[in-house]
């Protein structure tokens, strides 16, 4: 998809701002979903004033700050930490986390060197500087930084400092399936939720996690709606976005989420890896899974028949086993027929994934892999 590049910060903002007004003490602070693990956050500016400080040290990924909405652009809502959504208004105060973003159909963004230009990057309460945008999007919602949230010691609050220690229970193992895809918006979450629903209808306790991406509540709500007994994502591991993380950071995130899901004693675990096979963090994680697990079994979601053959071959070259193909490629019977001609893997609609017998057959692939891994 074509992108529109944004120049480096120059003389002014990319969107016409409104005139700033004094901050009223009763003005609520809208804390984004990415801050879900932070304790005792102030609910109004009167409560937040003493805990917010502006300093001139460089911004850091996962730093938490309060910013005022200056001009509404592409993002008009924020996902709140209680799981609800709130409309954005000019003058609103939002509690946000600094991070980059890698989204081929939305925004590309970075953590800026200064806060001279700050944008709303994702609905889950993520801010940064937008550097490129998919064609057809509006300008980013423009923010004015008020200051960093500070802790009792006067240090900046970071999402990384609020991750509970957790270890996988000794001897715990459950069949695990990974859902990955050809690109953003390929239907990965729909496929995972459908599979979770099918297994739940078959009487199993299913736990799910989205391992990579940028904070947004929608995907986890879909997993919970499908019947998952627990749904987590990378924000539970201390990241507002996984864009730009190292291999070690990605593996630690994966292991943390799996360990936390194990505490729920699920019969099956479903993991989603965001974006597409060409995305750097996706590629790193798939390479890790092929060697170290916890699974080598994949459901592959894609947009079109041509992506089927290339994607399945790419996954198999890594040593991964593709149990099924799904996604938006199944939107029409003709598209499905074309896709099925390109692969020996079953191409399944979301309705088929919801069928308990089909879901159980896919899970059986994961169970076989688990036994082989334990024996090897």
CATH number at residue 221: 3.40.50.300
> Are 154 and 226 contained in the same domain?
no
User: Do residues 176 and 370 lie in contact, with contact meaning Cβ atoms separated by under 8 Å?
Assistant: yes
Residues 242 and 234: their CA atoms lie apart, in Å, by: 7
DSSP annotation of 235: G
Q: What is the pLDDT along the chain (376 residues), one digit of tens a residue?
A: 445 454 444 444 444 444 456 788 899 999 999 999 999 899 999 999 999 998 889 999 999 999 999 999 999 999 999 999 999 999 999 999 999 999 888 999 999 999 999 999 999 999 999 999 999 999 999 999 999 999 999 999 999 999 988 876 666 688 999 999 999 899 999 999 999 999 999 999 999 999 999 999 999 999 999 999 999 999 999 999 999 999 999 999 999 999 999 999 999 999 999 989 999 999 999 999 999 988 899 999 999 998 999 999 999 999 999 999 999 999 999 999 999 999 999 999 999 999 999 999 999 987 776 666 556 5
User: Do residues 67 and 19 lie in contact, with contact meaning Cβ atoms separated by under 8 Å?
Assistant: no
> Are 371 and 229 contained in the same domain?
yes
Domain assignment of residue 168, yes or no: no
Pull the structure tokens for residue 187: 């239907």
> Are 218 and 367 contained in the same domain?
yes
Domain assignment of residue 253, yes or no: yes
> Are 73 and 217 contained in the same domain?
no
> Are 267 and 313 contained in the same domain?
yes
3-state secondary structure string across 346-366: CECCHHHHCCHHHHHHHHHHH
Domain assignment of residue 166, yes or no: no
**pTM score of the predicted model:** 0.90
Domain assignment of residue 169, yes or no: no
Map residue 210 onto helix, strand or coil: strand
Domain assignment of residue 171, yes or no: no
Domain assignment of residue 170, yes or no: no
Number of domains observed in the structure of the chain: 2
Pull the structure tokens for residue 88: 């954005």
Map residue 189 onto helix, strand or coil: helix
> Are 142 and 271 contained in the same domain?
no
Residues 353 and 46: their CA atoms lie apart, in Å, by: 50
> Are 9 and 131 contained in the same domain?
yes
Domain assignment of residue 123, yes or no: yes
> Are 217 and 325 contained in the same domain?
yes
| Boundaries of domain holding 337 | 176-375
Pull the structure tokens for residue 46: 């009167």
> Are 272 and 359 contained in the same domain?
yes
User: Do residues 28 and 42 lie in contact, with contact meaning Cβ atoms separated by under 8 Å?
Assistant: no
Q: Domain end: 135, 161, 187, which one?
A: 161
> Are 180 and 150 contained in the same domain?
no
């Amino acid at each position: 998809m074509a992108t529109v590049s944004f120049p480096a910060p120059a003389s002014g903002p990319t969107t016409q701002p409104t005139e700033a007004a004094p901050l009223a003490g009763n003005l609520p602070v809208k804390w984004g979903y990415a801050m879900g693990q932070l304790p005792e956050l102030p609910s109004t500016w009167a409560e937040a004033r003493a805990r917010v400080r502006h300093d001139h040290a460089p911004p850091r990924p996962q730093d938490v700050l309060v910013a005022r909405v200056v001009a509404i652009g592409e993002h008009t809502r924020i996902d709140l930490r209680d799981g609800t959504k709130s409309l954005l208004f000019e003058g609103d105060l939002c509690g946000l986390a600094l991070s980059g973003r890698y989204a081929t159909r939305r925004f590309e963004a970075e953590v800026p060197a200064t806060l001279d230009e700050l944008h709303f990057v994702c609905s889950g309460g993520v801010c940064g500087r937008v550097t490129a945008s998919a064609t057809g999007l509006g300008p980013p919602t423009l923010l004015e930084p008020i200051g960093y949230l500070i802790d009792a010691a006067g240090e900046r609050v970071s999402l990384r400092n609020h991750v509970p220690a957790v270890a996988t229970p000794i001897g715990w193992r459950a069949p695990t399936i990974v859902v990955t895809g050809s690109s953003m918006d390929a239907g990965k979450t729909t496929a995972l939720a459908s599979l979770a629903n099918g297994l739940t209808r078959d009487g199993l306790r299913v736990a799910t996690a989205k391992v990579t991406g940028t904070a947004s509540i929608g995907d986890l709500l879909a997993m919970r709606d499908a019947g998952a007994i627990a749904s987590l994502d990378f924000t539970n591991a201390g990241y507002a976005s996984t864009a730009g993380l190292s291999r070690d950071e990605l593996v630690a995130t994966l292991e943390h989420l799996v360990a936390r899901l194990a505490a729920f004693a699920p019969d099956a675990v479903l993991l989603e890896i965001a974006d597409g096979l060409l995305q750097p963090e996706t590629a790193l994680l798939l390479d890790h899974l092929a060697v170290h697990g916890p699974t080598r079994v994949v459901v592959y979601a894609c947009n079109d028949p041509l992506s089927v053959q290339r994607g399945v071959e790419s996954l198999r070259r890594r040593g991964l086993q593709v149990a099924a193909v799904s996604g938006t490629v199944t939107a029409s019977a003709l598209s499905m027929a074309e896709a099925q001609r390109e692969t020996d893997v079953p191409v399944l609609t979301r309705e088929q994934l919801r069928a308990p017998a089909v879901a159980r057959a896919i899970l059986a692939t994961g169970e076989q892999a688990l036994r082989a891994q334990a024996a090897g």
